[in-house]
C-alpha cells in the first residue's frame, strides 16, 4: 500500500489482521502490545535502539535506531500500516513526521501536552476537570512570586518526569529555592500538597470516529513514586467517585481529540473530592490487570483504536489485584536469586507476566502478577500469600 493510500484511508477503512502495526518504544508496554497484536493476526514492527528491548525481542521487525533518526522513521513508515507509541517521552515531532504518511495514534499534539506538566494542567483547567492548585516556575521572578498558600508542595520538572523522578517535596520558601536549584532551574510546576485518602486511575480508549469506552476505576497504591498495587472490583472506590472519575477521564480525552488508549490518574482527597494528577498517553501499569480480569484488555483496545476496529465496552469477570514485580525481588540479602515462581503459580488465580528484561535492577519494573478471584476477599487473601512468598511489603 502506498503512503498516499495509507493516509487517505486512515479515517474510514479498518486495518485488518495481516497488516503490520508499529510501535515507537521497546519497553514492556510495547512488548505486551506486540504480543496482543500478534495474537489478533497482525505483523509488528518496533523502533527502539536497544537491541535487547523487551518488545524488539518478540517483534517481527526491530528497527534499532533512535526515535528521531530519519532512516529509522522512514523504515517504520515503509513497513507499517499504522503506528502507536508505548512511551510518553517519544518526541512529538517524530509522531508528527510519521503522521504525514500513515495513521498515528495518539497524535503528536496530544503526546506533547502529556509531556509538559504546565500544558497538561492548562488542559485540565480548560476541560473543567479539577486539579491541585499550582504555579508554573520558569524564571526567578515566577519563583519569587509563588503564593505561600501553595506550600507545603511538590516541585516537579515540567518535562521528562515519570515514576516519581524529577520531584522534590518542599515545605518552606527556602526549601523551594533550594529544590529549584537542585533541578537545575529548569521549567517546573509547584503543586500544593493535598490531604490524600487514596489514589485511583481510569483508562479510556477513543476511536477516530469519537467512540469512547473505559476500563473500571482502578484503586492504586504507590511506594517511592512507583505503582505497587492495583485493586479492581465493585466498590473499590465509592460509586459517586467512580462516576466522577470516568466522566473526568472521558472529558480529558475528548478535549484532546484523543485517539488511542489514555490513562488519567487521580488523587482522592480526605473530604472525598477528586482531583486529576496527570495523564499518560498510552496503556498504563495500573491497567495490566485487564489482561486476566476483563474480556478486552487495554492492549487489545490499543490495537482496535489504531486499526480502526470497533470499540466494545470491556466487561470485568473477576475481582482482581495486580502486584508490580520490581528488580528488588531478584536480590535477597545482597545475593542474586530467582524468585520462587513455582510457589506463586501454585496459588489459585495467579497469572504471572514477566517482561523478558535481561538484567534485574532494584526499582526496575520486571513484571507483574495478576490475581483473579470470585470475590474481592479471595483476591486479597491470595495476593497477601503472594507478597509473603516474594518478600513484598503487605498492603
Please indicate if the annotation marks 346 as binding a ligand.
no
Q: Which triple of cell numbers denotes residue 144?
A: 519569587
The reply to whether 138 sits in an annotated binding site is no
Mark out the alpha helices in the chain (DSSP H runs). 3-8, 28-39, 70-79, 92-98, 108-114, 117-127, 140-144, 173-182, 239-255, 290-293, 298-306, 341-344, 376-390
B/e letters for 273-300, b = 16+ CB within 10 Å, e = fewer, are ebbbbbbbbbbbbbbbbbbbbbebbbbb
Question: Is residue 10 part of an annotated ligand binding site?
Answer: no
How many Å apart are CA 67 and CA 57, to the nearest integer? 18
Question: Would you say 121 is a known binding-site residue?
Answer: no
* Residue 85 β-bridge partners: 24
Contact 55, 22 (CB under 8 A): no
Q: What angle do CA 215, 244, 284 make, to 5 degrees?
A: 35
61 carries a ligand binding annotation: no
Q: Is 278 among the annotated ligand-binding positions?
A: yes
Is 108 labelled a binding residue?
Answer: no
Q: Tell whether 192 is in a known binding site.
A: yes
Q: Is 117 annotated as a binding residue?
A: yes
Q: Residue 191, annotated ligand binder?
A: yes
Q: Was 304 annotated as part of a binding site?
A: no
Residue 86 marked as a ligand binder: no
> Is residue 162 annotated as involved in ligand binding?
yes
Is 255 annotated as belonging to a binding site?
no
Q: Is 285 annotated as a binding residue?
A: no
Please report how the helices 298-306 and 28-39 are oriented relative to each other, as an axis angle in degrees rounded to 10. 70
Annotated binding residues for ATP, written as ranges, equal 117, 156, 161-167, 191-194, 199, 222, 277-278
Annotated binding residues, written as ranges, equal 117, 156, 161-167, 191-194, 199, 222, 277-278
Amino acid at each position: 500500500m502506498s503512503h498516499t493510500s495509507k493516509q487517505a484511508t486512515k479515517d474510514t477503512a479498518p486495518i485488518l489482521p495481516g497488516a503490520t502495526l508499529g510501535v515507537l518504544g521497546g519497553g514492556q508496554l510495547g512488548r505486551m502490545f506486540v504480543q496482543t497484536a500478534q495474537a489478533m493476526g497482525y505483523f509488528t514492527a518496533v523502533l527502539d535502539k536497544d537491541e535487547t528491548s523487551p518488545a524488539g525481542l518478540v517483534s517481527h521487525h526491530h528497527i534499532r535506531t533512535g526515535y528521531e533518526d530519519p532512516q529509522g522513521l522512514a523504515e517504520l513508515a515503509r513497513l507499517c500500516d499504522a503506528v502507536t507509541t508505548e512511551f510518553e517521552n517519544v518526541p512529538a515531532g517524530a509522531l508528527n513526521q510519521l503522521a504525514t504518511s500513515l495513521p498515528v495514534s495518539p497524535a503528536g499534539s496530544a503526546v506533547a501536552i502529556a509531556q509538559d506538566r504546565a500544558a497538561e494542567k492548562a488542559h485540565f483547567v480548560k476541560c473543567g476537570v479539577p486539579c491541585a492548585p499550582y504555579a508554573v516556575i520558569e524564571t526567578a521572578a515566577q519563583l519569587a512570586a509563588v503564593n505561600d498558600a501553595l506550600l507545603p508542595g511538590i516541585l516537579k520538572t515540567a518535562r521528562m518526569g515519570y515514576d516519581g523522578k524529577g520531584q522534590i517535596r518542599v515545605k518552606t520558601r527556602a526549601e523551594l529555592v533550594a529544590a529549584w536549584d537542585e533541578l537545575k532551574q529548569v521549567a517546573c510546576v509547584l503543586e500544593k500538597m493535598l490531604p490524600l485518602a487514596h489514589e485511583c486511575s481510569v483508562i479510556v480508549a477513543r476511536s477516530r470516529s469519537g467512540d469512547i469506552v473505559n476500563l473500571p476505576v482502578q484503586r492504586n497504591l504507590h511506594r517511592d513514586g512507583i505503582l505497587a498495587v492495583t485493586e479492581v472490583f465493585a466498590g473499590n472506590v465509592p460509586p459517586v467517585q467512580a462516576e466522577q472519575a470516568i466522566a473526568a477521564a472521558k472529558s480529558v480525552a475528548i478535549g484532546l481529540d484523543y485517539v488511542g488508549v489514555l490513562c488519567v490518574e487521580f488523587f482522592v482527597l480526605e473530604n472525598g473530592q477528586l482531583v486529576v494528577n496527570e495523564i499518560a498517553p498510552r496503556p498504563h501499569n495500573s491497567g495490566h490487570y485487564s489482561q486476566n480480569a476483563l474480556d478486552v484488555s487495554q492492549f487489545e483496545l490499543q490495537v482496535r483504536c489504531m486499526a480502526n476496529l470497533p470499540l466494545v465496552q470491556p466487561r470485568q469477570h473477576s475481582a482482581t489485584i495486580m502486584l508490580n514485580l520490581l528488580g528488588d525481588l531478584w536480590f535477597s540479602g545482597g545475593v542474586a536469586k530467582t524468585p520462587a515462581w513455582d510457589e506463586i503459580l501454585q496459588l489459585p488465580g495467579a497469572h504471572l507476566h514477566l517482561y523478558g528484561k535481561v538484567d534485574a535492577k532494584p526499582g526496575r519494573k520486571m513484571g507483574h502478577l495478576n490475581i483473579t478471584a470470585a470475590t474481592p476477599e479471595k483476591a486479597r487473601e491470595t495476593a497477601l500469600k503472594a507478597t509473603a512468598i516474594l518478600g513484598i511489603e503487605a498492603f
